[in-house]
Amino acid sequence: MGRVEIRLQDETEYRWQGSLDFLDNALDRASGTIRLRAVVDNPKGFISPGMFGQLRLYAMEPFDALLVPDQAVVTDQVRQVVYTVNADGIVSQKVVTLGQLIDGLRIVRDGIDAQDRIIISGVQRARPGRKVTAKETTVTAFPTGVSRGENSTLSMPSTASSSNSGATGSAAPSGGR
């Protein structure tokens, strides 16, 4: 059903791993808990019936993802696109497949690479083929909807040239109309 991590009441680390076997469909309003059963390796018999702890249930397996601010995504009739800027400052449009929105950051499942420079401000003025002066910036938002666990961090993909998750700041037209 799903991967779980467990820490017992007196433990600070989630050191027990297993898989979900049963999940009740009712919430106990008095205690705020849900009954479940997980199958966990217990070779030395340390865990015994009646023990209490905390459990983390993973809804999906972790995966690498590119995150862009949601304001960088534009709907073009029936598709979603982002505007990118190449090394010469020329704007192009890329069709993207989107995932979940997490505290203002959108998961991009397909359509861009970590090396792409994405326009995140001034999107309404960006036009494919237009030359712009891009200002590099770093996306610093940390999705609060993501369980960071104990002492963990969100790592953004880094590239040889930069480590800014592919985001580019405002796009101001340079010269011409």
User: What residue ranges do the domains of the chain occupy?
Assistant: 3-57, 66-173
Closest CA to 15 of 172, 136, 171, 150: 150
What pLDDT is stored for residue 140 in this prediction? 62
pLDDT of residue 98: 93
| DSSP structure class, residue 123 | G
8 burial type by CB count under 10 A (0-12 exposed, 13-18 middle, 19+ buried)? middle
Averages of pLDDT over each 10 residues, the chain, 177 residues:
88 92 90 87 89 83 83 91 94 94 87 92 91 82 46 41 42 42
Provide the pairing of β-strand 16-28 with 33-40: antiparallel
How would you classify the pairing of strands 79-85 and 53-57?
unpaired
The CA distance from 20 to 57, in Å, is: 8
SS3 109: strand
Which H, E and C letters describe 4-71, residue by residue?
Answer: EEEEECCCCCCCEEEEEEEEEEEEECCCCEEEEEEEECCCCCCCCCCCCEEEEECCCCCCCCEEEEHH
Pair of tokens at residue 150: 């104990």
Domain 66-173 fold is 2.40.420
8 A C-beta contact, residue 14 and residue 152: no
What local confidence, expressed as pLDDT, does residue 141 receive? Answer: 56
